[in-house]
Amino acid sequence: MPVPQLVSKSLNGQPVSRHNHTHAHSQPQVQSHKHGHHQHAHSASAIPHTIRRTASQQLRFAPPPTQPSSHSLRRSSSSQNLHRSRSSQQLRPPTPHAGPSGSGQRSRHNSASSAHRPIIHPQQQVQPHVHQQIVHHNGHVHFQYSKCTGRKKALCIGINYKGQRRELRGCINDAHSVKRFLTSHWGYKNGDIVMLVDDSTNLRQMPTRRNILDAMRWLVKDAQPHDALFFHYSGHGGQVPDKDGDEVDGLDEAIYPVDYKKAGLIIDDEMHRIMVKFLPAGCRLTAVFDSCHSGTALDLPFIYHSNGRLKGNHVAPRAQAEKATNADVISFAGCRDDQTSADTIQGGMAVGAMSYAFVTSLTRKPTQSYQELLKSVRDILKQNYQQKPQLSSSHPINTSLRFII
């Protein structure tokens, strides 16, 4: 089949280059895209264009939504127009949702659907002798690996920025695909999953800045040791100048709510403060970011090579105490902080490259170590995309341990 075209996007309507262009907070124009390397100002006035994704699921803080529509995973396009073939792996959503056509489509290959996998519950996968251990350092307890046997809660956000200039196509599909993946393979219940998508008719289920922050608070509320919390974001991402000195590169990473032009962005400092900082020891938060510039979107200090080795601490020394947490927090991001993430097509559906790769890898092989999963996701993407998925954590972890959620 012909290789579809991968289109990079920016909020100002121009193709986004892979060069970093830092925009001052006072500048009126800011580019936002999944793949671009542009920095975005915090103020809403500094962001002239919105990003769009159709949303198919409703935001639920109490009653569970109805069966999610079958949407595939989707991310923002890279900053360059690239012809790339898609991986032959395909997610099997129930019924594809046709996202709105926009200037930022991602090319995709139709691939053969994978066979149905048996349901494997997290409890069956956990190895107690591995994940119940407490890690010590200099005589002090640092953190406890979560067994992920407690309550399971998830927040899935998909924003296509429908009707906005830099509209995306696969983000809502991504949110629905991740929800199906969690409920069918990992024991999550519909009533414990909140969906925020911008095709919802319920205002409380729209991925506005206020609703996203409220949903983040809901996710971590009353968290206990060995609970398993899951956060998924598919939409535009960007960077803004760091104002508090916690970033080694001087830039904060940010995500774009559907109303970012009026309400503003959500930066990594705020996400860390709400979802990471106050979690108890032994509680797991797993985050998956399918957006541009998302490598350290949760401000987790430790990042890993595909061989499992640490790359070093990526939080400025002055902020390490502030960013410390006792919880077991893991983040998989679609690309490095200086890269963009692709929006593409798989099996005839618009999806985000990272969401697709993450779900596909674990659907095909549920039992993997952290290192194996990182390598698998990278292998799925590397043939057709330049983005390099990242694994980060709140504490140094043994990446040969089995990954559980």
Catalytic residue annotation = 236, 292
Phi and psi angles of residue 41, each rounded to the nearest 5 degrees, phi first: -75, 155
Gap between the Cα atoms of 53 and 39, Å rounded: 21
End-to-end CA distance of the chain: 36
- Residue 51 pairs with which residues in a beta bridge? 166
Pairing of strands 152-158, 193-197: parallel
- How many other CB atoms are found less than 10 A from the CB of residue 119? 12
- Cα dihedral sign for 193, 268, 225, 184? positive
Gap between the Cα atoms of 33 and 303, Å rounded: 23
- By the 10 Å C-beta count (0-12 exposed, 13-18 middle, 19+ buried), 110 is classed as middle
Tell me the residue length of the chain: 405
Do 329 and 300 meet the contact criterion of CB atoms below 8 Å apart? yes
Do 264 and 252 meet the contact criterion of CB atoms below 8 Å apart? no
H or E element in which residue 194 lies:
strand 193-197
What one-character-per-residue DSSP string does 71-134 give? Answer: -----PPPSS-EE-PPPS-----SS---PPP-S----EE--PPPPPPPP--HHHH--HHHHT-E
Gap between the Cα atoms of 25 and 45, Å rounded: 10
The tokens for 306 are: 């595909």
